[in-house]
Amino acid sequence: MTTPFKYQHLYYFWVIAKVGSMSKAAENLGLAIQTISVQVHELEKSLGFLLFKPAGRGIALTEAGFAALKIADQIFSLGQKLPELLKDAARFSQNKIIIGVAEGLPKLITRQLLQPILEKNTVQLIVHEGKFDDLLAELALHRLDLMLADRPAPSNKNLNVYSKELTKSLIAWYAPKKLLREAKKEFPKCLNNLPILLPTSHSIVRLLVDQWFLNSNISPNVIGEFEDSALLKTFAANGLGVFPAGKLIQKDLKESYGIELFGICADIFEYFYAITAEKKIQHPLVQTIVNQ
């Protein structure tokens, strides 16, 4: 059975072949001629072929030696590029962040939470939107760097994920100009007579608002339910109805959609969380969001 060769021995052979002399190779490597000579013989023994032959006062490559040199050139040329390749890979990894956004999270809130990253021109931001449980599984498998959601992760020792509250916002009511005058009359009783747009039950806000309706003795006229928060706001901007959303996005709603705030649910908050997986080395951009 042939003894597997050592790459260190192959490297010594490669240096000798490149400089054309055992003595020059020994000088370049800082080793004794006898040391590299013995190790090259060990390489020849493991390969089963002579790599060098006498040539006058020096040595020359055999046919097997030329073949070995061709392979060694490929191996060690790539090896010389390794530090730069790793440097580029590390730099690219540091400047890319993959974030999962739970489908119940309002788009405008998501943009605010990610603003510290958006301000960095060199960062490649990759965002996946999906169901809460699906994204949580992806996070646990380290396929996401971070997850944003409107609820904390459930307690589960097997997942090794951690939740941190980033911010919270009072729930407010908004109306397009078409309905604003009517909406401002005797809040919240006016909600009994106004067309209302709501998120579907996938959103925590929907559950909170439904309970608030009961507590406030309001029988809402719900004319539309939307999974996509941006789509809900687009319909509202066209005068279809009034809707609840976080007070945090009051300015954005006015500037982007021309929608005005007309009332606040003083005792209802929506919460926003960053969920991370346990890692020995955490992505530095994750801390930028978590610590904002």
3-class DSSP assignment, residue 67: helix
| 256-265 pLDDT per residue, tens | 999 999 999 9
Q: Write down the pLDDT at residue 160.
A: 82
Which domain range does residue 103 map to? 94-167+273-290
> pLDDT tens-digit profile of 106-160?
888 898 898 888 787 777 889 999 999 999 999 988 899 999 999 999 887 677 8
- Beta strand 243-246 pairing with 221-226: unpaired
Task: Identify the sign of the CA torsion 242, 215, 227, 260.
Answer: positive
Does 280 have pLDDT greater than 70?
no
Tell me, what CATH number does 153's domain have? Answer: 3.40.190.10
Question: Domain total for the chain?
Answer: 3
Q: Domain holding 48: CATH number?
A: 1.10.10.10
126 and 102: one domain?
Answer: yes
CA dihedral sign, ordered 202, 205, 208, 210? negative
Question: Tens of pLDDT along 57-108?
Answer: 888 999 999 999 999 888 887 777 777 666 655 555 557 889 999 988 888 8
234 occurs within a structural domain? yes
89 neighbors 24 (Cβ within 8 angstroms):
no
Same domain, 161 and 192: no
